A and B are shown apart, each in its own frame.
Chain A
Amino acid sequence: MRLMILMFILGINSLLAASGYSQSTKISLKMADTRVEDVLNNIESKSEFFFLFNQKQIDVNRKVSIEAKDEKISDILDELFAGTDVKHQVIDRQIVLTTTSGTETQQQGKKVTGKITDSSGASLPGVSVVVKGTTTGVITDNNGNYTLSNISENATLQFSFVGMKMQEIIIASQTNVNVVLADETIGIEEVVAIGYGTARKKDLTGALIRLNADDKATLPNINAVQTMRGSVAGLRVTDNGKAGSDGSIVIRGNRSITAGNEPLIVLDGIPMVGSKLSDISSNDIESIDILKDASSAAIYGSRATNGVILVTTKRGKNSKPVLSYSGYYGFSDFARTPNLMGPDKYLQLKKDASVFLGGQATPLNPIEQEVLDAGGASSPWDAISQNAPMMNHDLSVAGKTDQVNYYFSGSYADQKSVIMCDQFKRLTLRGNIDIKVNDWLNIGTNTGYTFKDYSGIEANVGNASIMSPFAKYKYDDGQPISVPMGDVLAYNPIFDALWIDNYQITNNLFSNIYANIKLPLEGLTYRLNVANNLRYNESKNFTPTYDRDGSKRTSFASQNWSKGKDFTLENILKYNKTFNKIHNVDATLMYGIESTKNTGMYRSGSLLFSDALGYYGVSLGDVQTASASGSEMKAVSSMARAGYRLMDRYMLNLTIRRDGYSAFGSKNKYGNFPSVGLGWVVSEENFLSDVKWLEFLKLRYSYGKNGNRAISPYSSLSLMDASNYKYVFGDGGVTSVGVSPISMANTNLGWESTLASNIGMDFNLFSGRISGAFEYYNMNTKDLLLSSQIPNMTGYATFTTNVGSVNNKGVEITLNTVNVKTGGFEWATTFTFAKNNNKITDLMDIDGDGKGDDDPSNRRFIGKPMFSYLDYVWDGIWQVGDDMTMDPGAKPGFVKFKDVSGPEGVPDGKIDPLDRQILSSSLPDYTAGVTNNLSYKGITLSVLFYTSQGGKASNTWINPGTNFYARLNQLDLPYWTPENPLKDRPSVGYPNPKGYGFYEDRSFIRLQDLSLSFELPKSFLAKTKLNSMKVFVSGKNLATWTKWNGWDPEHAAGYDPYGAASQSGPIMKSFVVGLNLNF
């Protein structure tokens, strides 16, 4: 191992800066016959305290003698000002000195008085009240009161306080000016998580977006991933509609072809390896910061190529404990289902199929005939549906004292999707505690436990999607019918749901413990993070014996246990100091290791002599199997970050990270990831000081390299599998375990890396009425971890290697406007837009000419977007009487393709593979979201529309001939017949001999989120113990407009009704009513 870098980190530690300083700090002083001012200066130099006072009120020239040994500041001050009317108040490190009179000695001109409070009505001592353009001013007293004299009528008063928005008020004729200062929780002063620390948003040089969970608190987002959906420019969330599912997230386009495009998720500073966003209750989340560009993400090096999502959970905010309840209850239904043939059209389909088959009978199966004769018919969607209630309850207590900050919460979610037996239950418990042990040591923990229950085999939407309207799903005694329409191709979609007893749970204990130590050098701190994530999952199944109408199932029991442990250890040194008031230096060093180990045991038994024990009867089976699995992953990381800021106007950030990862080839385990970021706050420049409407304008540039290691352990090795090659020699013999290689080794397998630049602009105009950000980025991903198709004559169809490159360029616009703000009514709009151009720029060079070559068998083409289709070009439908010599297999009603090319590069009068062209990609052209918030006196209406435009995907479901048209049900779409010679649809049994993909546009517009909430007025609550109360109704996925004929266009999966992809089926719409209470 190379020499270990000592990890001394310099910098402000945000947690160190928390409360409690004044309580625990003890000071020793010995000064005789000294001016008060010198005593105060001495205290400032010995501690982090600083004093705020008005020299006109406080006599600082008074001589005192004072001696203190390890005394608290308040005791020292009591002594110092004993016998005077000076009062002191300690607010964290800030000490406000006031006199009881709080008035000026000079009594000239106009006198103004007032009281300053915060938004909750509490008085604010220590607020600076200054006459604009002068040095005249006072500090508010203990009760938040101030008095200013000798003020001219045209003066403007500025009210400012740390963490609050500054306000300016013109005096005019007023003599009493009361001011409510608002928290500066949004906007450029906001402090955001940047990975291994925090920063003011105005100091960032990269593209970072913060989502405040509060903004989405009235939406039924059981999973936090739903919070991000449609709200962040450049972040695409795909929902698969399943209860409790995590969906998928892509930030700024697909960089990797096969190694995964999911961003890294970091929970309270620790990367989540084995756990998921569904392990966190949305209500525990304070904020989500999304790092989109290379320089922001580079501190996570090898895993940052796809962007980083930093999730921060809540902490205490008020000294008084706050008890909060939040809950909702509602229902879900299919948001959108593909239309299947109903009874009449289905019967017509049978007739037309018979004609297509030259008169061969296509009778209804007996069971269908029986249902038809009885006058029955049903929709398969009804057959697989269930009532789908959902509810969520969260309870939390939070608060802070000088020594301890705490947040405890528990939540329970219970959700059913409308698909039978698709359910999700979740219990979460969380405790976040920070303890200030003394003036140099802080320790704390973020610990969460999650129990998730996915039990039940959900109805199979794929099987439902081919089901006859005359199917019968259950016998009269309630047992499921194995083949409900009498055709074995169409297995009962609810059979497994009803017949198999399935238990499926996960437990997750995520615990991060840290210690923060202040080192003797000013501004230097050390932090140690130790994080353990323990996962324990169980899956059990029992299938009872079934033997009815020729269908047979032998009894089968199985139990599957798996355990995972993720361990992270990080040493972090930080240094932060401001020199000469204008030079700020912020440096971070990190060294850490990480490991993940997963193990599992599986056992099954078949042919149980009794069904009574269910899956606990696993050992009763005549036939037993057992297997074990295990894998391990390790990583080593070191990182350095340095930031320099001049006059809050110019910023420079440099980071470098070095990562080693075990899954890479033995020759290529380590990678380096440097980045640079520059920022310029243009609006601070003097030449813009006259532009009043321009509040804030910053230009940013960043450039850096990130990595992708999203491959599974052992990917670089030649592996042999022993689980799928068993054989039994002889009758009644025992199992012989065969072993076969499954992958080719690649000792050179290394990082996939992305070099990316980002140009950004943040702006805030007209006092915050218009604000937003504009980003342009250009990302080159190279050395792709590509599972590329190789000639399978080698024995392997694919090979994982570092080859090829992908470019993503794009723009993102985020625009927040306050359109109307008058008389308590406010209408605000957030608009997000993202356009990404994806292009494969290089692939493997096969022919040795030094250039990459297209890979048609994997649908990869240089200069074209990923997921492009190579296929024949649709040219209509062959009609009766057409000359079909160019396509000898064709018949009227078949798809006609264009003769584009031939061996000579020109049309040759023959349809053959040379006529295949690169058609469109399935990636969208752009996505956009618009959120409108209208509020009036506590009533808020929020509406989010989301759209994705462009991209075509293959949907062979729309061709009946591909899908057993004579036996199964089909999408309700017209088809060609001699009597109805359509020009855009093939005949009913078009056998699709060339495997044409049938492409459809995935564009859609969705009314995604709608919420109406009402916050009860404070006066109304005065007699109760409640601090606040909010009621709301909200809905999700309420309407979708699209031309796509498959499942949801967003995932566009499941066009193959028999495939596993059909499990990404319909998405759900939901309605809830909810309540938030604070005590």
Chain B
Amino acid sequence: MKKIIYIILILVAVSTGACKENYLNETPLDKFSPENLLVNKAGFESVIYALHVSARDEEGGNIPAMAVGTDVATSGVGDGRFFNNYKEITPTNGDVNQWWDWAYTKILKNANLIITRAENPDIKWTEAEKNSIVAEAKFFRAYTYNVLVNIYNGVPIVDKEFTEPKYDFVRSSRLEVLKFIESDLDYAVLYLPNVVTDSKKDGRIFKAAAYHLLSEVCISLGKETGTATYYDKSIASATKVIDGSTGQYKLMTSRFGNLARPGDVFSDLFWTGQQNRASGNLETIWALQYEYITPGGGTGNNNHDRWWGPKFEDVTDPTGKKLLVCDSLGRSQGGVRPNNYYFYDIWKDNWNDMRNSKYNIRRTWFWNNTASPTYLRTPVKTVVEGGKVYILKLDGTKSSITVDSVRAFYPQIRKIEGLMPNGPANGRTDNDQYRMRLAETYLLRAEAYFHKGDAVLAASDINIVRARAQAKLVTSAQINLDYILDERARELTVEESRRKTLCRLGILVDRVKKYNMKSKDIEAYQQWWPIPQKAIDANRGAELLQNPGYPGAK
């Protein structure tokens, strides 16, 4: 029997042998933690990559809400969605949540993680490496606050990593947020590198991007404070980009890229694979990167074709045969419908502007259904009678078929077109998307000159852009804010965050009333989006004030 007891003792000893002091301690096997990742430059760089991913996710597949519901575009859908009815923009609205969540949980979290942890003295990196990493993080932080402050007005400033929950956020003023952005950019322009032509670095953030953004933010600061020196700073910042001191940038003036494709230089800027410097395009300051089917390439996530083009598949020829989805057209849905302001008003003085060429706006559609040989390859023609748009037959007589010219049949901006490796029915391309392009830098500097009162230099900058488009040059007498906005529309529609531009100038409501085809009853308070209700609800330690006019506002 003693033997048995020995056996038991041995077994017990064996079983306890496994129970060392640290038996229950955890080390994740397949996940990083900030402690084991953020120890060197490579670790921090991986968080920078995550910032780029998140920057690409700004719209998150949602409608381009920075363009729709403004002066340049409304939505083709028949109901109140997508800013057709601003009353549907409530504190629980999906877009309202999307931009807030994107800013705070994707960009600012990672930017602040880098900025906070970079101060850890144990990290193995050089001062220069640290500075350039922090500079890129601060650029993203500044970029994001500039989005927030121009759609929600003043928001809580979060400037560090949180390792425990916080419930008492309060909103900072618009001026405080703008100054915060300015200080981040002042840092970023010191330590970001000058641009280089290196296909591995296309898409990265260079010094010019920070100057470009600083140029815009200083205009906002000038408007907010009434201090003219901000316009000087804006001009100086833009000049750093334009004059080559941050690396060579220039407007493309002759055709490049795929020359076999019919087109002009403006259309070359937007064709698949022609946004990056490696393709010869020296106009790009920052482009979001897409890549077919490669992991991390975001394939099939460039939704612009789908949102901006007409839902032409609903157009029916006089024999009842539809226009068909095909490789060259994709499959757009009329979610964002440019207003007549864009299609007609801004070109009427100079219809031959290159940006209005057939390579850049598709104004003629051709029947393409082989089941309808009579109409095949002939242009789609319509006539308006009694408020309805009727399809015309070949002989010019009216058919009984009407078409929705708000959603299904309107000109198509060809910036959105490109190769469709995911299939035309998918309605999406893998084109890289401009965030910042040199043409806008000129227009920002022109705007700063204008605000400063120098119409001559303003006109001169605008004319650099117009000259490339082979448009009539403008005189200083013609320069006013509307002209600058028209020029921005001609040059930048689709690329531009139009809502942000109008909001930073405080003229969203006026412009929407004037040019938007649907949202004419927008009210003054609707210049700002509401603060998401869930943020107000969760912030239980302090009151996060709702914007005036919205439910729950004081």
In the complex, the answer to whether B46 meets A729 with C-beta atoms within 8 Å is no
- Cα–Cα distance between A716 and B28 once the two chains are bound (Å): 11
In the complex, the answer to whether B50 meets A738 with C-beta atoms within 8 Å is yes
In the complex, the answer to whether B4 meets A847 with C-beta atoms within 8 Å is no
In the complex, the answer to whether A792 meets B33 with C-beta atoms within 8 Å is no
- What chain A residues lie within 8 Å of B161 (beta carbons)? 795
- Cα–Cα distance between A634 and B18 once the two chains are bound (Å): 11
In the complex, the answer to whether A739 meets B540 with C-beta atoms within 8 Å is no
Which one, A1-9, A420-428, A682-690, A1033-1041, is touching chain B?
A1-9
Is there a chain B Cβ closer than 8 Å to A846's Cβ? Answer: yes
Given A569, A722, A791, which contacts B539 in the complex, CB threshold below 8 Å?
A: A791
In the complex, the answer to whether B78 meets A360 with C-beta atoms within 8 Å is yes
- Cα–Cα distance between A994 and B78 once the two chains are bound (Å): 19
Given B91, B158, B289, B533, which contacts A793 in the complex, CB threshold below 8 Å?
A: B158
Is there a chain B Cβ closer than 8 Å to A966's Cβ? Answer: yes
Is there a chain A Cβ closer than 8 Å to B294's Cβ? Answer: yes
- Cα–Cα distance between A722 and B295 once the two chains are bound (Å): 12
Mark B17-49 against chain A: 1 for CB-CB distance below 8 A, else 0: 011110111101111111101000001001111
Is there a chain B Cβ closer than 8 Å to A528's Cβ? Answer: yes
Which one, B58-66, B103-111, B449-457, B502-510, is touching chain A?
B103-111
- What chain B residues lie within 8 Å of A794 (beta carbons)? 104, 109, 158, 162, 165-166
- Most chain A C-beta atoms within 10 Å of own C-beta, residue among B34, B92, B112, B166: B34
- What chain B residues lie within 8 Å of A631 (beta carbons)? 28-30
Say yes or no: A744-B162 contact (C-beta < 8 A), given A440-B4, A550-B423.
yes
Which one, B173-181, B200-208, B480-488, B491-499, is touching chain A?
B200-208
Mark B244-271 against chain A: 1 for CB-CB distance below 8 A, else 0: 0000000000000000000000000000
Say yes or no: A517-B8 contact (C-beta < 8 A), given A730-B203, A737-B49.
yes
- Cα–Cα distance between A823 and B294 once the two chains are bound (Å): 78
- What chain B residues lie within 8 Å of A636 (beta carbons)? 19, 23-24
- What chain B residues lie within 8 Å of A666 (beta carbons)? 25
In the complex, the answer to whether B15 meets A571 with C-beta atoms within 8 Å is yes
CB proximity to B under 8 Å, residues A864-917: 888-889, 903, 910-914
In the complex, the answer to whether A994 meets B540 with C-beta atoms within 8 Å is no
- What chain B residues lie within 8 Å of A729 (beta carbons)? 52, 200-204, 289
- What chain B residues lie within 8 Å of A727 (beta carbons)? 49, 52-53, 56, 203, 289, 296
In the complex, the answer to whether B29 meets A912 with C-beta atoms within 8 Å is no
In the complex, the answer to whether B537 meets A857 with C-beta atoms within 8 Å is yes
Say yes or no: A722-B88 contact (C-beta < 8 A), given A592-B15, A727-B52, A735-B296.
no
Which one, B79-87, B359-367, B465-473, is touching chain A?
B79-87
CB proximity to B under 8 Å, residues A831-888: 846-848, 853, 855-857, 888
CB proximity to B under 8 Å, residues A606-661: 606-607, 622-623, 625, 628-632, 634-636, 660-661
In the complex, the answer to whether A630 meets B165 with C-beta atoms within 8 Å is no
In the complex, the answer to whether A726 meets B295 with C-beta atoms within 8 Å is yes
Cβ distance B57 to chain A, nearest Cβ, rounded Å: 10
- What chain B residues lie within 8 Å of A716 (beta carbons)? 26
- Cα–Cα distance between A856 and B79 once the two chains are bound (Å): 30
Say yes or no: A1-B20 contact (C-beta < 8 A), given A552-B422, A592-B15, A730-B203.
yes
Cβ distance B280 to chain A, nearest Cβ, rounded Å: 12
Tell me the nearest residue of chain B to A663, going by C-beta: B26
- What chain A residues lie within 8 Å of B295 (beta carbons)? 623, 625, 726, 728, 735
- Cα–Cα distance between A358 and B78 once the two chains are bound (Å): 8
Is there a chain A Cβ closer than 8 Å to B474's Cβ? Answer: no
Is there a chain B Cβ closer than 8 Å to A121's Cβ? Answer: no
Cβ distance B41 to chain A, nearest Cβ, rounded Å: 13
Say yes or no: A744-B34 contact (C-beta < 8 A), given A483-B425, A730-B289, A739-B47.
no
- What chain A residues lie within 8 Å of B91 (beta carbons)? 913
In the complex, the answer to whether A662 meets B24 with C-beta atoms within 8 Å is yes
Mark A955-999 against chain B: 1 for CB-CB distance below 8 A, else 0: 000000000001000000000000000000000010101110000
- What chain A residues lie within 8 Å of B164 (beta carbons)? 744, 746
- What chain B residues lie within 8 Å of A215 (beta carbons)? none
In the complex, the answer to whether A488 meets B158 with C-beta atoms within 8 Å is no
- Most chain A C-beta atoms within 10 Å of own C-beta, residue among B104, B203, B540: B540
The bracket for how many chain B residues form the interface is 35 or more
Is there a chain A Cβ closer than 8 Å to B383's Cβ? Answer: no
Tell me the nearest residue of chain A to B45, going by C-beta: A736
Tell me the nearest residue of chain B to A482, going by C-beta: B425
Cβ distance B449 to chain A, nearest Cβ, rounded Å: 35
Mark B110-122 against chain A: 1 for CB-CB distance below 8 A, else 0: 1011000000000
Given A6, A358, A520, A622, which contacts B12 in the complex, CB threshold below 8 Å?
A: A6
Is there a chain B Cβ closer than 8 Å to A733's Cβ? Answer: yes
- What chain B residues lie within 8 Å of A731 (beta carbons)? 199, 202, 273, 276, 278-279, 291, 432
Is there a chain B Cβ closer than 8 Å to A721's Cβ? Answer: yes
Tell me the nearest residue of chain A to B100, going by C-beta: A792
Is there a chain A Cβ closer than 8 Å to B322's Cβ? Answer: yes
In the complex, the answer to whether A593 meets B19 with C-beta atoms within 8 Å is yes
Given B105, B291, B541, which contacts A796 in the complex, CB threshold below 8 Å?
A: B105
In the complex, the answer to whether B273 meets A520 with C-beta atoms within 8 Å is no
Say yes or no: A363-B314 contact (C-beta < 8 A), given A739-B37, A853-B540.
yes
Say yes or no: A730-B202 contact (C-beta < 8 A), given A739-B32, A966-B78, A993-B90.
yes
In the complex, the answer to whether A791 meets B538 with C-beta atoms within 8 Å is yes
Is there a chain A Cβ closer than 8 Å to B126's Cβ? Answer: no
Cβ distance A548 to chain B, nearest Cβ, rounded Å: 9
In the complex, the answer to whether A738 meets B46 with C-beta atoms within 8 Å is yes
Is there a chain B Cβ closer than 8 Å to A68's Cβ? Answer: no
- What chain A residues lie within 8 Å of B169 (beta carbons)? 791, 793
In the complex, the answer to whether B34 meets A361 with C-beta atoms within 8 Å is no
In the complex, the answer to whether B541 meets A719 with C-beta atoms within 8 Å is no
Cβ distance A350 to chain B, nearest Cβ, rounded Å: 13
- What chain A residues lie within 8 Å of B437 (beta carbons)? none
Cβ distance A9 to chain B, nearest Cβ, rounded Å: 11
Say yes or no: A720-B423 contact (C-beta < 8 A), given A713-B26, A726-B53.
no
Given B24, B326, B402, B422, which contacts A634 in the complex, CB threshold below 8 Å?
A: B24
Tell me the nearest residue of chain B to A635, going by C-beta: B24
Is there a chain A Cβ closer than 8 Å to B163's Cβ? Answer: yes
Mark A772-811 against chain B: 1 for CB-CB distance below 8 A, else 0: 0000000000000000011111111101010000000000
- Cα–Cα distance between A571 and B295 once the two chains are bound (Å): 50
- What chain A residues lie within 8 Å of B109 (beta carbons)? 740-741, 794-796
- Cα–Cα distance between A966 and B163 once the two chains are bound (Å): 47
In the complex, the answer to whether A569 meets B15 with C-beta atoms within 8 Å is yes
- Cα–Cα distance between A995 and B423 once the two chains are bound (Å): 34
- What chain A residues lie within 8 Å of B186 (beta carbons)? none
- Most chain B C-beta atoms within 10 Å of own C-beta, residue among A623, A630, A795: A795
Extra contacts, 4 of them, besides A728-B294, A789-B537, A994-B92 (Cβ < 8 A), are: A6-B12, A593-B19, A730-B200, A738-B51
The 7 lowest CB-CB distance pairs between A and B, nearest first, are A552-B423, A726-B296, A795-B109, A738-B49, A912-B551, A550-B425, A630-B29
Q: Which residues of A contact B (CB under 8 A)?
A: 1, 4, 6-7, 357-358, 360-361, 363, 366, 440, 482-483, 488, 517, 519-520, 526, 528, 547, 549-554, 569, 571, 591-593, 599, 606-607, 622-623, 625, 628-632, 634-636, 660-663, 666, 669, 713-714, 716-722, 724-741, 744-746, 789-797, 799, 801, 846-848, 853, 855-857, 888-889, 903, 910-914, 966, 989, 991, 993-995
Q: Which residues of B contact A (CB under 8 A)?
A: 1, 4-5, 7-9, 11-12, 15-16, 18-21, 23-26, 28-35, 37, 43, 46-54, 56, 78-81, 85, 87-88, 90-92, 100-101, 104-106, 108-110, 112-113, 156, 158, 161-167, 169, 198-204, 273, 276, 278-279, 289, 291, 293-297, 314, 316, 322, 325-326, 331, 402, 404, 407, 421-427, 432, 533-535, 537-541, 544, 551-552, 554
20 CB-based A-B contacts, threshold 8 Å: A1-B16, A363-B314, A440-B1, A550-B326, A551-B423, A571-B12, A591-B12, A591-B16, A592-B15, A622-B293, A631-B28, A726-B49, A731-B273, A731-B279, A735-B294, A790-B167, A792-B104, A794-B104, A795-B158, A993-B88
